[in-house]
Amino acid sequence: MAQYRIVSGSVAVISIQNPPVNALSAAVREGLLLSVRAAASDPLVRSVVISGHNGPFCGGADIKEFGNVSHLESGPHLVEIFESVEALAKPVVAAIEGFALGGGLELALACHYRFGHSEARVGLPEVSLGLLPGAGGSQRLPRLLGVRAALDMIVTGRHVAAGEALKLGLLDRLTDGNTVDAAVRFAQSAEGKPLDDRRLGNRPCPPLENIDAFFEEALIHARGRARGAAAPLACVQAVRGAATLPFLKGMELEKRLMETLMTSGQAQASRYCFFTERGAARWTTPTGARWDTCRARPISTAAVIGLGTMGRGITVALARAGLSVVAVETQEHQLDEAQRAVSRMLKGGGGVSYSADLQAAAGADLVVEAVFEDMAVKEEIFKQLSSVCKPGALLATNTSSLDIDRLASCTLRPEQVLGLHFFAPAHVMRLLEVVSGPRTSPQTVAAAMQLGRRMGKVSVAVGNCPGFVGNRMLKPYLEQAYFLLEEGASPELVDAALEEFGFPMGVFKMSDLSGLDIGWRVRKEEGLTGPGVTADQPMRTRRGRRYSPLGDLMCEEGRYGQKTGRGWYLYDRPGARVARSDPWLRSFLEEYRERHGLLARRIDQQEVLERCLYALINEGFRVLEDGVAASPQNIDAIYVFGYGWPKHRGGPMFYAAQVGLARVLEGLEKYHKAHPDSPHLQPCSLLRRLVASGSPPIHKWSEVVKGHRSQL
C-alpha cells in the first residue's frame, strides 16, 4: 500500500499505492508511516520523495471509511503521519502528478518541497463533502499562501491548476517531464540544507491588516453562499485560527471543528451525493438492460435541430466534448443570430457548421431535436429524420415531458430513439436525463450515457413517462405551492421557506426565471386550461381533483415572469433579474380568494416545507414503484444536479430517510386528510410498505421495491 525503494544511492522514494485514486485508506496510512520511519532511521537515506503509484499523487482520505468510525480510527491518524513527515530531519519532496486533493494536498503541505507536473491540479475540496481540511490543511495552507488565497481555496474547495499553484507559491517547481525523476534530482540537491524554514508548522501566518473585520466579512460572505451548509463557516473559523493562534492551538481548533462536522447529517448527505453522482454511471433500465452488459457505439458527429436557447446550449455542450456538430435551424434569421451566439459561447467556430436544411443531418451519428414543445411539430421532424439520417444514427429529442414512445413510433428505427433531457443552460447544467422507451435498445442507452460522460454531465438513465423523473416530481411540488397561495401564503413566504431550506431560489422565483408561459402551454396541451375548457366547468376543479388556475390567470394578464418584467414578482424591466414584491399581486390574490370564498389563514414555513417537499417525495416513491427510476440514488442525483436541491441535504429521497419515513408518511396522511381533493398528498403504497417493513436504510429500499410490478 506504500512502496518503498532507494534510488540514486541516497533518496528514499515512497509511493502511495491504492488505485484508482491512491486514497489514504487505513492500510495506506500504515504503510506510509512505516516508510517514513524507515527513511528516518536508515543512515544511507539522505532525502525522501513521496509520490503516487501509477500517476495520480493522491485523491485524499478514503471517503468510504468516513461512514464508519472504527475504520477511521484503525491505522495511524493522518495528523500523526503528517507531523512525522514534517519533522523528518531529511528533505522531503512531494512529486505531484495528476492530482493532490484533500488529504493528498495536506500530505504535500507537510513535505518540505512540492514538485508538480504541469498538468497536475491541487485542491482542498473537503468543504464539498461537508468537512474541512482536517489533517492540518486549514493551518498549513494559510501559513504558506497567506490568509486570503488559502481561505478562497478552502471555502470554495476549487481545484487549482498547476500553473496557478506555482504562481500562488503552493508548488515550488513544475516539470513537463517525469515528475518523480525531477523530484529525486531536486531532493539530492537539497540534502544537508537547513529545513526549519521549510516546515510550515514552524512558520507564522503572513500578517493581515484589520484581521477581525476581514474575518467578519468572510463569515458573512460564506453564510450568504452556504445556503445553510455548516462546513463553509467552519472553514472560515479554522482559517481564522491559523491567522490568530500558534500552530498547535490552531490544530486543536481544527480537530474540534472536524469532529463536529464529521459526525453531522450534512457530511453524511454530502458524502452520499459524492457516491450517488458516480453511481449513476452504473445504469440499468426498466427493460433490464445494464451498463456492464452493453457495448456503446462511439458517437463522433452530431446534428442539433432547432437553435433556440436549448439548441444553442446543446450545440456548445456537444462541440466542447469534441464532437463535430452541424446545427440546423430552418428559420434563416434565427440561424444567423444562433450562429453568432454559439460562436460567442465557444469563443470561435469550435467544430460547428450551420445549415437551414434538415438534410444536413444525414451523416450524423446522433441527432438531437430541440425545437419547441409541440408534439405535432416534433412528430413531423422525427418522420423526416427517420428517412434522412444514415442507418444506425441515433435520434434523440430534448423534450422535457412529451412521450418518447410516440416519437419512436413515427420512425422506422424505434430502437434508436431516445430522450436526452438537457437542463437550461444546457452547456452549464450538470444533469442529463437519458430517457428510454420500451423499444429503445440497450446499445442506444449505452451510447447516450457514454456521450453524457464525455460532456462532463451527471447522466441518469430513466424510463419514459410524462415529465420523466425530474419534472414529474416537480409537478406536485408546484401544485402545493399554488394551493398555499390560495390558502393565504404569499410568494415571498413560500420562497423564503424553500431558500432557507437551501434551494438557490424558491419555487416562484424559479417560475419567473423559466417563464410562466411554459407551464401554461403544457396545461393547454393537457386540456386543463384554454379553449377546450367549457364555461360551465368549475374553475378550481379538473377531472375531480383540486386545480389552481392561478398560473393561467397570471399568463392571461401577460405576466410571464422575468421576460415580461412581471410575474410572481416585479422586475425593473423585461429581462431584469432582481425580484421585488409586487403590491399588485397582493391585491390580485386577495380578490381571487374573495371571489372563490377562500379564507386566508396563517401559514408557517414548516407547513410550506412539508406540503411542497413531502408531495415531491411522495411522487418520488411512485416513480420508484413504477420503475421509471432505477434507484432512490438516481432520483437524488437528478434533484441535486438538475433542480438545485442542496447537496448538504442529500436529495429528496435521502432527506425523506433522514427525516424518517414514518414521519413523512404521517405528514402526508395529515395533509391528505385536510385536502382530500389533492391526490398528490395521498401517501403512495411503496412508502407505506417501507414504513411497514421497519423503514430500512435507503440502500435496502430496492428489496421492497422489487415486490412491485413495473407499470412500464
Ligand X SMILES: CC(C)(COP(=O)(O)OP(=O)(O)OC[C@H]1O[C@@H](n2cnc3c(N)ncnc32)[C@H](O)[C@@H]1OP(=O)(O)O)[C@@H](O)C(=O)NCCC(=O)NCCSC(=O)/C=C/CCCCCCCCCCCCC(=O)O
- Least distance between ligand X and beta carbon 627 (Å): 24
Nearer to ligand X, 457 or 475 (CB): 457
Long-range Cβ contacts of 537-541 (<8 Å, 24+ apart): 539/596, 540/486, 540/596, 541/677
577 lies in the site for ligand X, by CB under 6 A: no
Q: Count residues contacting ligand X (CB under 6 A)? A: 27
Closest CA to 155 of 122, 129, 121, 132: 132
481 lies in the site for ligand X, by CB under 6 A: no
Applying CB under 6 A, which of residues 52, 116, 130, 134 lies at the interface with ligand X? Answer: 134
Beta bridge partners of 431: 458
Nearer to ligand X, 32 or 345 (CB): 32
Nearer to ligand X, 278 or 586 (CB): 278
Dmax over CA atoms of the chain, in Å, equals 97
Catalytic residue among 65, 106, 610, 619: 106
CA 343 to the chain's CA centroid: 27
651 lies in the site for ligand X, by CB under 6 A: no
60 lies in the site for ligand X, by CB under 6 A: yes
Applying CB under 6 A, which of residues 11, 14, 61, 407 lies at the interface with ligand X? Answer: 61
Residue 69-98 contact track with ligand X, rule CB under 6 A, x = bound: x--x-----x--------------------
262 lies in the site for ligand X, by CB under 6 A: yes
Interface stretch with ligand X, choices 211-219, 259-267, 374-382, 474-482 (CB under 6 A): 259-267
Residue 448 to residue 289: CA distance in whole angstroms: 14
Examine the residue annotation and report whether 126 is marked as an active-site residue of this protein. Answer: yes
Query: Is residue 492 within 8 Å of residue 481, measured between CB atoms?
Result: no
234 lies in the site for ligand X, by CB under 6 A: no
119 lies in the site for ligand X, by CB under 6 A: no
Query: Is residue 35 within 8 Å of residue 41, measured between CB atoms?
Result: no
Residue 436 to residue 464: CA distance in whole angstroms: 6
Nearer to ligand X, 80 or 604 (CB): 80
Residue 165-194 contact track with ligand X, rule CB under 6 A, x = bound: ------------------------------
- Least distance between ligand X and beta carbon 709 (Å): 31
Applying CB under 6 A, which of residues 52, 91, 102, 232 lies at the interface with ligand X? Answer: 102
Applying CB under 6 A, which of residues 4, 57, 82, 99 lies at the interface with ligand X? Answer: 99
Closest CA to 633 of 378, 284, 366: 284
Burial class (CB in 10 A: 0-12, 13-18, 19+), 264: middle
Nearer to ligand X, 272 or 508 (CB): 272
135 lies in the site for ligand X, by CB under 6 A: yes
263 lies in the site for ligand X, by CB under 6 A: yes
Interface stretch with ligand X, choices 55-63, 210-218, 363-371, 549-557 (CB under 6 A): 55-63
Nearer to ligand X, 72 or 528 (CB): 72
Total residues belonging to the chain: 712
Sheet holding 121-123, edge to edge: 99-101, 121-123, 160-161
Nearer to ligand X, 278 or 295 (CB): 278
Burial class (CB in 10 A: 0-12, 13-18, 19+), 437: buried
101 lies in the site for ligand X, by CB under 6 A: yes
161 lies in the site for ligand X, by CB under 6 A: no
The 3-state DSSP class for residue 560 equals: coil
Amino acid symbol at 464:
N
Interface stretch with ligand X, choices 42-50, 129-137, 219-227, 586-594 (CB under 6 A): 129-137
125 lies in the site for ligand X, by CB under 6 A: yes
Residue 60 to residue 449: CA distance in whole angstroms: 28
CB atoms within 10 A of CB 104: 29
CB atoms within 10 A of CB 573: 8
Interface stretch with ligand X, choices 20-28, 229-237, 450-458, 686-694 (CB under 6 A): 20-28
129 lies in the site for ligand X, by CB under 6 A: yes
258 lies in the site for ligand X, by CB under 6 A: yes
Burial class (CB in 10 A: 0-12, 13-18, 19+), 618: buried
Nearer to ligand X, 281 or 496 (CB): 281
103 lies in the site for ligand X, by CB under 6 A: yes
Nearer to ligand X, 105 or 623 (CB): 105
Applying CB under 6 A, which of residues 23, 122, 325, 664 lies at the interface with ligand X? Answer: 23
317 lies in the site for ligand X, by CB under 6 A: no
Number of helices (H) and strands (E) in the chain: give both, helices first.
29, 19
Residue 307 to residue 336: CA distance in whole angstroms: 10
Residue 358 to residue 373: CA distance in whole angstroms: 18
Interface stretch with ligand X, choices 121-129, 235-243, 469-477, 612-620 (CB under 6 A): 121-129
- Least distance between ligand X and beta carbon 275 (Å): 5
Q: What is the CA radius of gyration of the chain?
A: 28
Query: Is residue 222 within 8 Å of residue 77, measured between CB atoms?
Result: no
Interface stretch with ligand X, choices 62-70, 221-229, 339-347, 615-623 (CB under 6 A): 62-70
User: What letter would DSSP give residue 594?
Assistant: H
Nearer to ligand X, 282 or 663 (CB): 282
251 lies in the site for ligand X, by CB under 6 A: no
Give the 3-state secondary structure of 645-708. CCHHHCCHHHHHHHHCHHHHHHHHHHHHHHCCCCHHHCCCHHHHHHHHCCCCCHHHHHHHHCCC
Amino acid symbol at 537:
Q
Closest CA to 650 of 673, 667, 633, 665: 633
Nearer to ligand X, 114 or 378 (CB): 114
Beta bridge partners of 561: 566
- Least distance between ligand X and beta carbon 110 (Å): 12
21 lies in the site for ligand X, by CB under 6 A: yes
Query: Is residue 90 within 8 Å of residue 45, measured between CB atoms?
Result: yes
275 lies in the site for ligand X, by CB under 6 A: yes
Catalytic residue among 65, 86, 97, 126: 126
59 lies in the site for ligand X, by CB under 6 A: yes
Nearer to ligand X, 106 or 582 (CB): 106
569 lies in the site for ligand X, by CB under 6 A: no
Q: DSSP secondary structure string, 367-425?
A: EEE---S-HHHHHHHHHHHHHHSPTT-EEEE--SSS-HHHHHHTSS-GGGEEEEEE-SS
Would the CA dihedral through 457, 461, 467, 470 be positive or negative?
negative
- Least distance between ligand X and beta carbon 282 (Å): 8
Nearer to ligand X, 82 or 483 (CB): 82
451 lies in the site for ligand X, by CB under 6 A: no
- Least distance between ligand X and beta carbon 492 (Å): 37
- Least distance between ligand X and beta carbon 1 (Å): 14
- Least distance between ligand X and beta carbon 455 (Å): 14
Binding site for ligand X (CB under 6 A): 20-21, 23, 59-64, 69, 72, 78, 99, 101-103, 125-126, 129, 134-135, 258-259, 262-263, 275, 278
Catalytically active residues, by annotation: 106, 126
